[in-house]
Structure 1
Amino acid sequence: MSHEMHHFSMGMWVFFLAYATSVVGSFVGLSCARQALIAPTGRGHRRWMAMAALSVGGVAVWLMHFIGMMGFDVPGTAVRYALGPTVFSVALSVAATWFGLWLVSSRAAWVNRVPSLVRLFVGGLGMGLAVSLMHYSGMWAIRIQGSLEHDTAFVVASVAIGVVAATVALWLAQAADRWTLRVPAALLMGCAVVALHYTGMAGVRVQVDPTVPLPAGQTVTALLFPSFVLGIVVLTVPIAALLLAPSRRDLALEQEFARWTTDDGTDSSRTVPARS
């Protein structure tokens, strides 16, 4: 029988903060993904892709996970986190998000030969599996006086949610071309990420053994404070870039103006008679 544990030991405000963090990260990430699709240069495309991956993978997914873990408590034992698996989990989350976004928006000729629907499903599968692995890597980092296991049924359910959520997120990254669409899309993505997290947490089973030495590692607050500050910085950069970035309409007008001035200059040169 599993030992008693609490998922909301600090109150429901942790849940709402985790959800809000995921929504904000998702909205910024979707906005960056749209800018990547319309970026006129390859360098700009890659820059927007990196900011989208950091916003979604680093903030909407990973930071949400550790904010949610603030409420995790096991009476009778301290809860600590190993640094190595924690760092691995954030790197995996960002890399998986970047891979999924790259697959559906790549400008490489060999990638574009693959049907877009196939790329969407492959990207969603790979990203969803990796994000689910991120969650369980974060759980692997937990150290308690005893053992921690996961119910297989809840693991399968959380992975399924992760794959579906990732696939929908990649589709929304292409389809949500206006902020009025990105707001409900971000709300939906936040729900999916939170559902993955708490479905996985519902399957946690712990056994406390007082004879085991006190666990080494960091407290969740010691990890979360610098992570939260870093998350704010990560979001500040793309938000500033988005405010300064031209819209699709602006780019079209610039291209039209450049074409008009070029054509006008060419026509003028043809009408001016040559001097003898």
Structure 2
Amino acid sequence: MNGTIDGFSYGAVTPVAGYLMAVLGSALGLRCVARCVHYQQGWKPGWLALGAACIGCGIWTMHFIAMTGFQIEEAPIRYDVAVTVLSLAVAIVVVGIGVFIVGYRGAGVVTLVSAGAITGLGVAAMHYLGMYAMHLPGSLRYDPFIVALSVAIALGAAIAALWAAVSIRGFASSLGASLVMGVAISGMHYTGMAAVSVHLHNAPATGDGATPVSLLLPMLLGPVVFLILATAIVVMDPLFVAGDTDGRRNGSPSAASRGRGPESAPARPRAGAHRAERDNRPAWSPRPDRNATHDQRAPR
């Protein structure tokens, strides 16, 4: 028997909340990556690790907030807590590999594509590992074509996000990239969910695992609190506070500071040049001896 799936049992609450968490995680992660690519100040491994954790937590939180609205009318759903936590670790580690590649190798086309492919596969792996954590009296079946489409969306979103991190500067542009990234993450999730069908068995449901609602509280107290703390760290960053979006690149002074710097000031003329102009002779010519006689100073 096929089960009846309801992916929006709480209406628009879970899609909107999940989307906002995806945007927050993407915004923080892209800011951390951009900081390492455009500036030398600070501890690069720490900022890249923070960026990977933010993106991974944003994706994971979006997935499980959305899954609280996923129900099968004929059967209850339980989750394996260990596999659920493992999916978070997979998201952070695999996304971190892509982030570190871009942070240390730069913004070349090959680098972006390879790092984006790894990051996108991490997003897809997190999603389907989270789906594997579901326990129900039946089995999940997937449409291969829609699954491939969801993975393609994840790859494209990851490549676009890393390109935005290394190419776009300014708060407004970064926010726009994060909004697009949030759409891509949510689109990948709901595309993957569209591939799911449930075949129920006659066996009774088991009571193992946690219900979706019981997972919501630790989800909010864990990754969401982490994202809030990460927001405080990023916002208190001196480069973020100064709004130096066109400033020091790789530690070099900005164009504006170069225009005001000492090197742009006109060179002061040498004092000897003033004396040469006053005396109508080159500055390097010897001055006459003051003690010489008139006959020695002037030719007859």
TM (normalized to structure 1)? 0.84
Amino acid aligned to 2:154: G
Amino acid aligned to 1:90: L
How far did 1:242 drift?
Answer: 2.0
Structure 1's 253 and 246: CA in aligned 2 closer, same or farther, altered over 3 A? farther
1:92-103 alignment to 2 at 5 Å?
92-103=90-101
How far did 1:212 drift?
Answer: 3.5
What is the aligned residue count?
A: 250
Amino acid aligned to 2:149: A
Q: Secondary structure at the match of 1:76?
A: coil
The aligned residue for residue 207 of structure 1 is 199
The aligned residue for residue 11 of structure 1 is 11
Amino acid aligned to 1:92: V
In the alignment, the residues of structure 1 paired with residue 138 and residue 110 of structure 2 have an alpha-carbon distance, to the nearest angstrom, of 44
The aligned residue for residue 49 of structure 1 is 48
In the alignment, the residues of structure 2 paired with residue 94 and residue 170 of structure 1 have an alpha-carbon distance, to the nearest angstrom, of 15
The aligned residue for residue 266 of structure 1 is none
How far did 1:209 drift?
Answer: 2.1
Contact 2:48 2:103 in 1 (8 A): no
In the alignment, the residues of structure 1 paired with residue 139 and residue 162 of structure 2 have an alpha-carbon distance, to the nearest angstrom, of 36
Amino acid aligned to 2:210: Q
Contact 1:144 1:215 in 2 (8 A): no
Amino acid aligned to 1:164: G
1:171-250 alignment to 2 at 5 Å?
171-247=163-239, 248=244, 249=247
Structure 1's 228 and 62: CA in aligned 2 closer, same or farther, altered over 3 A? same
- Range moving further from structure 2, 229-238 or 70-79: 229-238
Amino acid aligned to 2:132: W
In the alignment, the residues of structure 2 paired with residue 177 and residue 21 of structure 1 have an alpha-carbon distance, to the nearest angstrom, of 22
1:42-121 alignment to 2 at 5 Å?
44-59=43-58, 61-106=59-104, 111=105, 116-121=108-113
Does residue 1:130 correspond to 2:99, yes or no? no
Contact 1:54 1:234 in 2 (8 A): no
- Range moving further from structure 2, 193-202 or 50-59: 50-59
In the alignment, the residues of structure 1 paired with residue 6 and residue 100 of structure 2 have an alpha-carbon distance, to the nearest angstrom, of 39
Q: Give the number of the structure whose alpha-carbon radius of gyration is greater.
A: 2
TM (normalized to structure 2)? 0.77
Contact 1:39 1:45 in 2 (8 A): no
How far did 1:253 drift?
Answer: 6.1
The aligned residue for residue 136 of structure 2 is 144
In the alignment, the residues of structure 1 paired with residue 207 and residue 121 of structure 2 have an alpha-carbon distance, to the nearest angstrom, of 29
Q: Can you list the C-alpha shifts for 1:153-202, whole angstroms capped at 9, x where unaligned?
A: 11111011011111111111111221110111011000000000000000
Contact 2:78 2:207 in 1 (8 A): yes
Query: Percent identity at matched positions?
Result: 32
Mark the runs of 5 or more structure 1 residues left unpaired by the alignment: 262-276
Q: Secondary structure at the match of 1:71?
A: coil
Amino acid aligned to 1:246: P
